[in-house]
């Protein structure tokens, strides 16, 4: 298991378990997981995607005269 983890760094305990099974070695998933953790092997989680920059809202238009701004009431329709 150490050799597999050293040569294939991006493989986690699940993939290592599959490779061990293909080689003909019988090991349960929980045993492979426990040994993987005891060896200090930790597959780093992918980093979170970068967030978009917050856009500053523009100030609302303030009407200076009558009938410059209209609104519709969709609930009453």
The domain in which residue 16 lies consists of 2-38
- What's the CA gap between 39 and 32, in Å, rounded? 11
Q: What pLDDT was estimated at residue 76?
A: 59
Instruction: Report the pLDDT averaged over residues 10-30.
Output: 87
> By C-alpha distance, which of 38, 42, 47, 40 is closest to 10?
42
Please indicate, yes or no, if residue 76 is contained in any of the structural domains. Answer: no
Total number of domains in the chain: 1
Would you say residue 15 lies in a domain? yes
Residue 6 lies in a domain: yes
* Domain annotation covers residue 68: no
Identify the burial level of 46 via C-beta atoms within 10 angstroms of its C-beta, where 0-12 means exposed, 13-18 middle and 19 or more buried.
exposed
pLDDT in tens, 26-57: 888 898 888 888 888 877 777 788 887 777 88
> How far is residue 54 from each of residues 12, 36, 50, 51, 57, measured CA to CA in Å?
36, 41, 12, 9, 9
For the chain, the average pLDDT equals: 82
d(CA 3, CA 7): 6
Residue 30 is assigned to a structural domain of this protein: yes
């Amino acid at each position: 298991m150490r050799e597999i983890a050293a040569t294939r760094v991006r493989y986690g305990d699940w993939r290592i378990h599959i490779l061990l099974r293909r080689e003909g070695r019988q090991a349960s998933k929980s045993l492979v997981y426990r040994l993987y953790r005891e060896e200090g092997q930790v597959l780093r989680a992918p980093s979170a995607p970068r967030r978009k920059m917050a856009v500053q809202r523009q100030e609302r238009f303030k009407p200076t005269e009558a009938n410059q701004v209209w609104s519709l009431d969709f609930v009453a329709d």
